[in-house]
């Protein structure tokens, strides 16, 4: 760790905080070692949130401008720049990340490593360069959805699982734990996320997950392993809609598809895109403004009309 650590602080709104939490892509102007944390300042006040950005080195003007661009509501606010004393600033930045208990899973940072309850499957997931600590409603909702599938009577059984947009790898790890005999693949468009996932897999003793850097499903390794009987995609509404034919095409007939990263106001558009590919909606887990969807692929495996064109996709940005 560098002897010099720095923190930038700006006010923000809840919508901006959720957009930051839901997007792992912070742009080229923000260093890959940055840790961004959002905090509710006043309970139930959507305008009173705070963004803290931590860096190992003094941020330059371009970095400061990039952080400010994440919170347009703070355009006129003074950005607080603080030089921190030599300390483990990553641990400090995560002090507010309380452990998360979802079903049989317990997700925590090093700050709470001694708080794991007996009988829980613990995952140590630090806030990092990739999205998916479990604390956002989209990720915790997916964890609950997967846990519920295993606990159903009779519980679902899967043999071939893919987690698209794996982030930190948490959902892929959960699937591997719930269905230990299944082949599990984690993919992400961001090579950094795949690096982080491998680091987290080693840290948590998770073995046997195949990791692929891929744009959606456009990779030979993904296609070769298809069809999948469980498809997980926790990304954003725009890509979920535009990737519907891709995702449906790698799903087996009758497969379970878990989708997240969408606001409740975007649910109808996402469901319509998958219905057009022969899927049907089985369940919705609404968490605040966010929804997690469970769909069932059609009885006949979906075949796309033509090749997929990634240039035609919507941008990887949250539309709030």
Counts for the chain of helices (H) and strands (E), in that order: 10, 14
Establish whether 138 is an annotated binding residue.
no
Inter-residue contact 269 to 243 (CB < 8 Å) = no
Sign of CA dihedral 135, 258, 190, 28: negative
Establish whether 208 is an annotated binding residue.
no
Establish whether 160 is an annotated binding residue.
no
Establish whether 188 is an annotated binding residue.
yes
In this structure, the chain runs to a length of 320
**Among all chains, which residue has been given the structure tokens 């996402």?**
270
Residues annotated within a binding site: 139, 165, 188, 234
Residues annotated within a binding site for S-adenosyl-L-methionine: 139, 165, 188, 234
């Amino acid at each position: 760790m560098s002897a010099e650590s720095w923190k930038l602080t700006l006010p923000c709104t809840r919508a901006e905080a959720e957009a930051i939490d839901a997007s792992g892509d912070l742009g080229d102007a923000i260093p890959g070692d940055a840790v961004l944390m959002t905090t509710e300042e006043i309970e139930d006040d959507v305008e009173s949130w705070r963004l803290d950005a931590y860096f190992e080195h003094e941020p330059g003007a371009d970095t400061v401008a990039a952080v400010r661009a994440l919170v347009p509501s703070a355009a006129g606010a003074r950005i607080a720049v603080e030089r921190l004393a030599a300390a483990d600033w990553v641990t400090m930045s995560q002090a507010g990340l309380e452990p998360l208990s979802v079903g049989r899973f317990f997700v925590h940072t090093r700050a709470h490593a001694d708080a794991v309850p007996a009988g829980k499957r613990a995952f140590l997931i630090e806030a990092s360069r990739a999205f998916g600590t479990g604390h956002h409603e989209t990720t915790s909702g997916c964890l609950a959805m997967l846990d519920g599938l295993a606990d159903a009577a009779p519980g679902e059984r899967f043999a071939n699982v893919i987690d698209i947009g794996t982030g930190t790898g948490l959902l892929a790890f959960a699937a591997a734990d719930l269905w230990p005999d299944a082949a599990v693949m984690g993919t992400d468009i961001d090579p950094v996320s795949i690096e982080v996932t491998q680091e987290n897999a080693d840290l948590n003793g998770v073995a046997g997950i195949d990791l692929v850097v891929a744009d959606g499903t456009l990779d030979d390794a993904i296609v070769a392993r298809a069809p999948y009987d469980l498809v997980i995609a926790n990304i954003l509404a725009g890509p979920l809609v535009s990737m519907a034919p891709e995702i449906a095409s790698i799903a087996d007939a009758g497969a379970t598809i878990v989708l997240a990263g969408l606001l409740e106001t975007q649910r109808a558009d996402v469901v319509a895109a998958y219905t057009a590919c022969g899927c049907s909606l089985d369940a919705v887990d609404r968490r605040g403004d966010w929804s997690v969807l469970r769909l069932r692929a059609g009885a006949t495996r979906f075949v796309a009309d033509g090749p997929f064109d990634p240039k035609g996709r919507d941008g990887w940005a949250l539309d709030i």
